[in-house]
């Protein structure tokens, strides 16, 4: 923490090598969590469901934790763009396969 380097934007870097438009971005400007490796990560637990709890849908099996959380990237435009990756806990029923994802809070604090 505390060792974030801030580089000034170098506009020329985008314009050199006029022939080749390299650094072509896949997708259409849609950034996933992997595009923000340095982003702050916030783990969001499911507010009502817990591992080992009975599945509220089928009521017949217990929930277990999925390894991959649902990710939500939130960018806050304060002095510089700052991204926060919210890792939303995902619980899955061992029987019916229902997945319960912790909600990403709708408004930023």
C-beta closer to Zn ion: residue 36 or 100:
100
Sign, Cα dihedral of 29, 99, 97, 33? positive
58 is a contact residue toward Zn ion (CB under 5 A): yes
CA separation for the pair 60, 54 (Å, rounded): 7
Question: Which residues, in sequence order, are CB contacts of 29 under 8 Å at separation 6+?
Answer: none
54 is a contact residue toward Zn ion (CB under 5 A): no
Part in contact with Zn ion (CB under 5 A); list of ranges 7-15, 18-26, 30-38, 86-94: 86-94
Inter-residue contact 103 to 88 (CB < 8 Å):
yes
- x/- track of binding to Zn ion for residues 89-108 (CB under 5 A): ----x-xx-x----------
Interface residues toward Zn ion, by CB under 5 A: 55, 57-58, 93, 95-96, 98
């Amino acid at each position: 923490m505390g060792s974030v380097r801030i580089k000034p934007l170098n506009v020329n870097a985008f314009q050199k090598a006029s022939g080749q438009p390299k650094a072509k971005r896949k997708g259409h400007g849609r950034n996933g969590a992997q595009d923000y490796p340095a982003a702050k990560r916030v783990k969001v637990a499911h507010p009502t469901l817990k591992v080992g709890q009975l599945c509220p849908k089928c009521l017949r099996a217990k929930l277990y934790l999925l390894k991959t959380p649902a990710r939500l990237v939130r960018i806050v435009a304060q002095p510089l763009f700052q991204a926060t990756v919210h890792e939303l806990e995902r619980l899955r029923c061992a029987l019916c396969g229902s997945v319960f994802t912790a909600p990403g809070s709708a408004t930023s604090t």
